[in-house]
Amino acid sequence: MTTLRLKQGPAATRVLGVGSYQPERRVTNDELSKIMETTDQWIRDRVGIIERRFAEKDELLVDMAVTAGHNALADAGVEASEVDTVIVPNCTMPSPIPNAAAQVADRIGVKAAGAFDLNAACAGFCYGLGVASDLIRSGSAGKVLVIGAEKLTDVVDPVDRANAIIFADGAGAAVVGPSDEPGIGPVAWGSAGDLVDTIYMREHRFIYQEGQSVFRWATTQIAPIAFRALELAGLEPSDVDVLIPHQANLRIVEAIAKKLRAKGAREDMLVADDIRYSGNTSSASIPMALDHMRKAGTVKSGDVVLMVGFGAGLSYAGQVVICP
Ligand code: UT7
């Protein structure tokens, strides 16, 4: 019988560096209230957003991903030539082909990269990180660039007050590589396809979501995923230094934090609130929040970071990461 040779990678991986990018244009709640029936107060109270960033017409998802990818490589001190795989989690490329990843890899200078997009909507970055880590551990990849990038303004009706006040544009990236000590815990992921009709975009038109149904689901079903990610990593809630849930709504973020604290997470656990100045950037929101918190000096190297993403599908994923 013929036996195939298999590859075996290192036992552990870690995030080597992170980076992000946001478009220049800041859009305040007051600006939105001039084109739709809403108020600054309603948005702050119900969603927690103070302002968000919108890309210009000619600034594409791929452009934002390239800059975030460059920034993550610089942060990691890794050359593009050391990377062999590029994953771009997103759900807003203008059409299914071509994908974003091959163009992004080429423009960053990653030659002949394994390159693919990954669509798990707002859970995309945590899915991508899990896949990257396992590709390295299996020996299929050496160093992987994972870039969550979204241009949600392309897929939101600009005067739909249910969605236009929430979604925004941007990109967040992480370089993943081998490690002596485990720096990325096992991914806890799953889906609830029976709830598919609660968030969708038909025939590449605009996003529709049943806000209240998704809100109820997120505030009840996502904390258990965070607990599962901790359990898989062999940690307790009290070990978490930083909680970064997908930045969908500050009230959802706070509800997840409350559930973790009820089960032993510390009062001084830092909770990401990047949505306040970035809006909901789907698969970019978690790495962007981490990058902003590191730059602000509130998160430091070695901190235990618990990430959990959730969104259309419905899909969810979470894992523990040691901050680079
Ligand atoms: O990222 C992917 C995953 N997505 C999520 O996790 C989103 C989850 N859902 C949410 O975050 C919230 O449901 C929304 C932010 C989308 C909506 O907030 P809400 O507190 O659930 O509002 P609602 O839809 O229950 O609407 C409450 C009221 C309604 O008025 P009446 O019927 O009570 O008179 C709405 O018409 O607020 C009204 N409303 C608004 N008022 C001012 C809805 N949108 C707006 C608005 N400005 N932009």
- Mind listing the pLDDT tens digit for each residue in 267-296? 999 999 999 999 999 999 999 999 999 999
pLDDT at 97 over 90: yes
165 Cα nearest atom in ligand 1: 48
Q: How far is the CA of 217 from the centre of ligand 1 (A)?
A: 14
pLDDT at 322 over 80: yes
Best mutation site among 41, 43, 46, 201 for ligand 1 pocket (most ligand atoms within 8 Å of CB): 46
For residue 248 and ligand 1, the question of a CB distance below 6 A is answered with yes
Q: How far is the CA of 297 from the centre of ligand 1 (A)?
A: 33
For residue 252 and ligand 1, the question of a CB distance below 6 A is answered with yes
For residue 161 and ligand 1, the question of a CB distance below 6 A is answered with yes
Cβ atoms of 221 and 173 within 8 Å: the answer is no
Does the reported pTM lie above 0.85? Answer: yes
Cα separation of 193 and 171, whole Å?
26
Find where tokens 């809630």 sit. 237
pLDDT at 188 over 80: yes
Band of the pLDDT at 113, cuts 50, 70, 90?
confident
Q: Which of 81-90, 136-145, 202-211 has the lowest mean pLDDT?
A: 202-211
Cα separation of 155 and 151, whole Å?
8
Verify cis geometry, omega within 30 degrees of 0, for the bond prior to 98.
Answer: yes
Q: How far is the CA of 146 from the centre of ligand 1 (A)?
A: 32
